[in-house]
């Protein structure tokens, strides 16, 4: 297959620590559509959780380290698979807007930052995806939707899988209650939001919930347990589901 792009994979903290398999599958899917995948050396945390808690100094330090790491790599895109990370990466130009020596470098970084779904679609999608027949629903990441403005690509990819029926849930744009550190600092409120979200999930009669962010994924897995749906409904990252459909382990 002719190489289409060289992409640098942003592995992330939570994704690398808790969902390393998803990172592995991400690299495999990108290779499947004709991308050469490289891992950024000296990359670090995106800084999102620091920004959420008001530590702008540390988030700026981390942003600068990631910018330097990407500048050393001749990559067409920096690819992430986490809505929260992707949103933070997309805001580096705003974060460093008051530092003239970093402003333009941050802008170039932001222009290269893409969610994996965007790059997969840009490469023409994944051919030959087939799944066992089932009904699924898609939990939209707030960060990915409202900051990255990535809304069409995940749906396009899911709709291209044979035998799969994608059912949009009611209040699809409503937060799941994870919201960065919200489910930690406002646990009770977060669980109320999750319960409402799970009602909407159950109304779809879906057997798989698709997510694109580790916070959403953990929250939806908890929702499945709280509703006593373990063994009947599962929550998966988009990358995991696409890998299933194309036969990648």
Same domain, 86 and 171: no
- Burial (Cβ within 10 Å: 0-12, 13-18, ≥19) of residue 171: exposed
Same domain, 20 and 83: yes
Residue 190 · residue 175 · CB < 8 Å = no
Collapsing DSSP to helix, strand or coil, 60 comes out as helix
- Burial (Cβ within 10 Å: 0-12, 13-18, ≥19) of residue 20: exposed
User: Which phi-psi region, left, alpha or beta, contains residue 163 (left: φ > 0; alpha: ψ -120 to 50)?
Assistant: left
Distances in Å between the alpha carbon of 215 and those of 123, 161, 165, 178, 242? 27, 25, 25, 6, 19
Range of the domain at 24: 5-121
- Which of 160, 159, 134, 137 shows the shortest CA–CA distance to 212? 137
- Which of 75, 85, 168 shows the shortest CA–CA distance to 119? 75
> Which pLDDT value is given to residue 170?
92
Same domain, 106 and 165: no
> Which pLDDT value is given to residue 181?
64
Single out the residue in 105, 121, 137 at which a domain terminates. 121
> Which pLDDT value is given to residue 182?
63
E strand spans, the chain = 5-9, 35-39, 77-80, 113-115, 130-138, 162-166, 208-211, 234-237
Same domain, 41 and 97: yes
> Which pLDDT value is given to residue 60?
95
> Which pLDDT value is given to residue 2?
84
Collapsing DSSP to helix, strand or coil, 210 comes out as strand
Q: What is the pTM of this model?
A: 0.93
> Which pLDDT value is given to residue 14?
84
Residue 83 · residue 237 · CB < 8 Å = no
Domain count across the chain: 2
The residues pairing with 31 across neighbouring beta strands, listed in sequence order, are: none
CATH number at residue 100: 3.40.50
Each of the 249 residues of the chain gets a pLDDT tens digit; together they read 788 999 999 998 888 888 999 999 999 999 999 999 999 889 999 998 888 778 889 999 999 999 999 999 999 999 999 988 999 999 999 999 999 999 999 999 999 999 999 999 999 999 999 999 999 999 999 888 988 999 999 999 999 999 999 999 999 888 887 766 666 667 777 888 889 999 999 999 999 999 999 889 999 999 999 999 999 999 999 999 999 999 998
Single out the residue in 93, 121, 149 at which a domain terminates. 121
Distance CA 14, CA 214 (A): 7
- Burial (Cβ within 10 Å: 0-12, 13-18, ≥19) of residue 220: buried
């Amino acid at each position: 297959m002719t190489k289409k792009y060289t992409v640098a994979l942003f592995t992330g903290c939570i994704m690398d620590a808790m969902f390393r398999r998803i990172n592995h599958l991400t690299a495999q899917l990108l290779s499947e559509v004709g991308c050469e995948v490289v891992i950024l050396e000296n990359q670090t945390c995106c800084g999102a959780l620091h920004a959420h808690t008001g530590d702008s100094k540390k988030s700026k330090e981390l942003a600068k380290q990631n910018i330097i790491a990407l500048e050393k790599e001749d990559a067409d895109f920096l690819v992430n698979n986490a809505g929260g990370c992707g949103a933070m990466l997309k805001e580096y130009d705003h974060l460093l807007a008051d530092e003239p020596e970093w402003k333009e470098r941050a802008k170039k970084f932001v222009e290269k930052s893409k969610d994996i779904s965007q790059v997969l679609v840009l490469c023409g999608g994944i051919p030959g995806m087939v799944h066992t027949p089932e009904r699924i629903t898609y939990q939209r990441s707030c960060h990915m939707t409202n900051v990255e403005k990535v809304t069409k690509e995940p749906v396009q990819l899911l709709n291209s899988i044979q035998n799969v029926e994608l059912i949009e849930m009611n209040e699809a744009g409503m937060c799941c209650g994870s919201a960065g550190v919200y489910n930690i600092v406002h646990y009770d409120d977060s669980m109320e939001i999750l319960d409402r979200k799970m009602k909407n999930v159950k109304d779809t009669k879906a057997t798989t919930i698709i997510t694109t962010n580790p916070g959403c994924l953990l929250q939806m897995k908890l929702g499945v347990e709280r509703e006593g749906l373990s063994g009947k409904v599962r929550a998966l990252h988009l990358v995991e589901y696409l890998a299933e459909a194309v036969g990648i382990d």
